[in-house]
Structure 1
Amino acid sequence: MSTSPKISTETKAKPVTAPDIQAMKGGEKICCITAYDYPSGIIADQAGVDLVLVGDSLAMVVLGRADTLSVTVDEMVHHTRAAAQGVKRALLVSDMPFMSFATVERALATAHRLMAEGGARAVKLEGGRTVVEQITALTEAGVPVMAHIGLTPQHVARFGGFKAQGKSAEATRALIEDAQAVEEAGAFSVVLEAMPVEAAQLITEAVSIPTIGIGAGNVTDGQILVYHDALGLFDRFSPKFVRRFAELGEDSRKAVEQYCAEVRRTSFPGEKNTYYMPDAELAQVRKIKVKPKKK
């Protein structure tokens, strides 16, 4: 099994930009993953991913909520700032949470906070033709925008659940129109989530910006997965489109069980984990008399 070379966050490598991602259309596949804090950010960056997304999925996989709708701009800023401490080379993109871009004014204000306070270098928003005005305004203001169509989790209430989209010719045509609209508005890439591979293929051919798939087959220009899904750290469900590349949740549980067992049998802390009094002081310390406290 081949592995990517480890890339240190201390490297002088040129940071990936939105134009760099856009230029990868039709070339080497673009590798993207989510991150929500310094540890996941630095791991993703060292692994060599091209784009790190601080997703609003943090509401579910980090904060334990039922869906993504309740995550706030304050929370997104907080987690983006944390991830930014570890992501030095990959393009750091932050999700604009539910209703935070309902108007152009709100979209601009949210993007400003995610970039100025959080340290993001681009933003992502969900929707196609319905958010063209916001994408246009953001890009004109100098904000790189990643679009997101197909299954858009912020619309889960309207969809009636986390259901695949584009499963008919009519629905596929609508998705193609959405993708072309966000490209025309200035988006540098577009996420295609949970749709038949045939629909994803047509969309990828219909636009000149990269398509980033998640549950859209291997025909897109790149792929993205949720960090906790890929590493086996999310316990509620595993979508069909996820492959778990590790079982860190189970490994972590076993490690904590071992820690508890060693604490209880006093094998931890061991000699290597213990500080000792310098010999010059030891004799004096042994003269100290301690009176037990009365109960």
Structure 2
Amino acid sequence: MDLGKKLIEGNRRAAARLISMVENKIPEAFEVIKDNYDKSGNAYIIGITGPPGAGKSTLTDKLVKILRSEGKKVGIIAVDPTSPFTGGAILGDRVRMSDLSVDKGVFVRSMGARGHLGGISEGTMAAVKVLDLYGMDYIIIETVGVGQSEIDIVKNCDTTVMVMVPGLGDDIQAIKAGVMEIGDIFAVNKADRDGARKTAREINIMLDFSKKEWRPSVDLVTAVKNEGVDKLLDSIKKHRYYMKDTGKFLIRREENSKSEIIELVKEKITSIVLDKSYKEKQINRLSKDVASRKLDPYTACTKIIEEVI
């Protein structure tokens, strides 16, 4: 089966197979992406991020249903915690979006984080390219929900939605600098709870100090009741128009491409360093020397780099 041709034709099985292949780093899958890369770049990529328990999956489910009512095809990459036994995704997000999986205009894929910090997995961007080539209008990446370390999502999306909830027991959590810099839009979910308006007010106060040209909206939503979700989607569309009208859309994609290239170079160099068993033995020997203080880690690093180069 010509996977590239089938993918462009909209073959669902080819898309699923290729995503599995990129997750497992099978070279043939990346060749398909390379050969068809000029046909990609049409899908709009939305990141949904926030702390565990914020209701990201439920919110994603409701957003997708509105997009489907508009006739849009949507791909969802839900990055789940990795199973310690199989290395695969635990699939909690897919369970919450089970009714979407029977919609032919929606492609839901759970991916295990596999220990990768930043809230997304290493194969996420390759999977995005596959779904883009598959013909999706929108691709939503939902992060694993790891708190403040999930800033990687910013490097992979056109619009990032930061989902917050009241009552997490830490009022200042919402106003940490790293979190504030993540969001293009803030959604305060579970707005029917006490403290939701207070949380929204605190976010707005901090945004008053922001020097960004784009002022993120702060939308109150109750995803489980489907309240305020349409307004949130309007905010996402407004940010999209703003990015396109100001030329920042292309600038962001260039920055994201730069980050991706650097990450791929890092990954490639690491695999070269660890490629042969004797190199691994050398690293083990150097590690012992560093641990026993016979050698410092900076000199050990230089020794390995010099040998590789």
TM-score, normalised on structure 1? 0.34
More helix by share: 2
Higher Rg of the two aligned structures:
1
Task: Give TM-score scaled by structure 2 length.
Answer: 0.33
